[in-house]
Chains A and B, each alone.
Chain A
Amino acid sequence: MIRYLQIFGTFVAASLVRDMTFRLNFILECVTGLGWMAMNLAFYLLVFSYTPEIGAGSGWTKPPFFVFLGTGLIINAIVQAFFMPSAEEFAEMVRTGGLDTTLVKPVDAQFLLSMHRVKFSAFANGLVGVALVAWGVSKLDPAPTTAAWLLYPLLLACGVAILYGFIVMLAAATILMGRNQSLYDFWFYITNFSRYPAEIYTGPWGGPLRMVCTFVLPILLVVNVPAHTLALPIRTADVRLIIAAVVAAAVMLGLSRLTFQAAISKYRSASS
């Protein structure tokens, strides 16, 4: 375990050196990320000038909604910083035979492949997320309970774990199918649903969609559960979702590992 932390430490250090070597790129990436985020924020500010709440009776007025947005930014920052960079390089690695050299080393392949690259520019949006959460929480009435504060980091971790599980499964698919072009697209579409509060999915189509995206493909648990727990009063129905989030995280981690191991065992190493 300690060894893995040490190895991860070298990854972080090496990535930092790399990012600082290409400093201009780093700054551009930060700016780009912040730019898109700012536009999104502007959009919601505009929307809130026309309505006090997103979803009548949902509780998502401006302060809670900004906690939601901030939570989303934090979770995405963690995923974009620690896991996506390795995932993006993954298809290229498979194509050029980099996966071969990984399999030969006495370290867990999944660990090496999903965590060897850290992108520090992703933290820019994460910091904004923290600011948004702080602002939103300061305007909340009633303020969050201690339980909510204790649950929040745990549920953030669960959200990250669920997304990580998706990433690993997509990586396993890449090993099996050898093509990657749609990884990033796929990722955008999968996470698209998680960018909005689950409460907007109502009605004859929305209800079932919400169920599927909560209990089958647990995307709606990622941002919703931690944000809801912190920003809105916890009712009995919400406890069910909190448990679901923890369970989903465990299931996603386990399932993705199994998928990954299966993919590795079928690996053809077609490059030569």
Chain B
Amino acid sequence: MSGSATLSREQLLPSWHGWSTMLSISVADRLAHRGDFFVGTLFRFLPIVTQIFLWTAVFSAAGSGLIAGYSRNDFVAYYLLTMMARSFSSMPGLAGGIARSVRDGSVKKYLVQPVDYVGFLMAARVAHKLVYFAIAAAPFSLMFFLCRDFFPPLPEATTIAAFLATLVMSFLLGFFLEATLGMLGFWVLEVSSLIFVYMLAQYLLSGHMFPLDMLDSIELTQAGFTLGDLVQLMPFQYTAYFPCAVWLGKIEGQELAYGLLVEAIWVVVAAAACRIAFLRGTRRYSAYGG
């Protein structure tokens, strides 16, 4: 195993054949459970419906037409966008899977083969996401079309480009954060409790439940440092809140550029943490005879 902390291109992109096989198996698997798939995808949008009603009710007595700078329509658009952002950044089973393969020893085969474990996981995730998008594109498009009135007019090309950039980065960030979490399995036996805490924090602080701007009204110190400011320092916002806020035009100009930069730095930090955790972990693992 090389001591380098960087991922080479070759390690990130395995052969086309491998991808296409994974793809076709995933598709067949989805179609085999078609009843669940039909119903499941449609039902996934049900909570949005209740959100629309809830926020309408909240606004009806709120006094002003804006809450933390968002109108009622903005809220609905926001939730739909978080669904999209989460489809990029959520990594179901990644951390748990890594921890499990450490626990039952199946990680050994990756340490022996000339295959980069992290790269392999990344490739598998990309394949997985591609399949998911291919199949979910229809229901997603339908929902967005039906709800198009909630959205503000289409943003400028630069904003859209920035939005896409944040989506790609949120995928990477989500991946490396969860992968690092899974790597803790090299040191800790029951990672599931840690995963739970992470999920909880993510759910609350990523903007999945509500736009993080709402936290700006909660002051933590005399000097005006708000809870919103605190949450801004954490990486969670980039997995849901940030892309959505960008699309809705809540973050623009210099603030946007700055945000993109910070997000990129977080991606690098998480990737590095993941790589270091992997190297240290495997060294420790082999030292203990596995």
Binding site for B on A (CB under 8 A): 28, 32, 35-36, 39, 42-43, 46-47, 49-58, 179, 181-182, 185-186, 189, 192-193, 195-197, 199-203, 206
Contact = CB atoms under 8 A, between A and B. Distances in A.
Contacts of A47: 58, 210
Interface of B (DSSP majority class):
helix
A181 B33 CA distance: 10
Given A35-B196, A46-B215, A193-B50, A56 B40 contact: no
Interface of B: 33, 35-36, 39-40, 43, 46-47, 50, 53-54, 56-63, 67-68, 193, 196, 200, 203-204, 209-210, 214-215, 217-218
A51 B43 contact: no
Contacts of B200: 35-36, 39
Contacts of A42: 204
A246 B129 CA distance: 47
Contact of B68 (A28, A50, A52): A50
Closest 3 pairs between A and B when the two form their complex, measured CB to CB: A55-B57, A200-B57, A56-B60
Contacts of B50: 192-193, 195-196
B96 to A, nearest CB: 14
Contacts of A58: 57
A50 B209 contact: no
B95 to A, nearest CB: 16
Contact of A199 (B35, B57, B62, B68): B57
A236 B24 CA distance: 60
Contacts of B46: 189, 192
Contacts of A201: 53
Nearest to B67: A50
A28 B39 CA distance: 31
A223 to B, nearest CB: 13
Contact of A43 (B43, B63, B210): B210
A243 to B, nearest CB: 25
A187 B30 CA distance: 21
B61 A56 contact: yes
B214 A50 contact: yes
Contact of B54 (A32, A46, A200): A200
7 contacts: A46-B210, A49-B217, A51-B67, A53-B61, A55-B61, A182-B36, A185-B43
A189 B43 contact: yes
Contact of B36 (A35, A56, A181, A195): A181
B53 A196 contact: yes
A176 to B, nearest CB: 13
Contacts of B36: 179, 181-182
Given A28-B193, A42-B204, A55 B60 contact: yes
A238 B165 CA distance: 52
Nearest to A54: B57
B61 to A, nearest CB: 4
Residue in A42, A51, A186, A199 with the greatest tally of chain B CB atoms within 10 Å:
A51
A54 B58 contact: yes
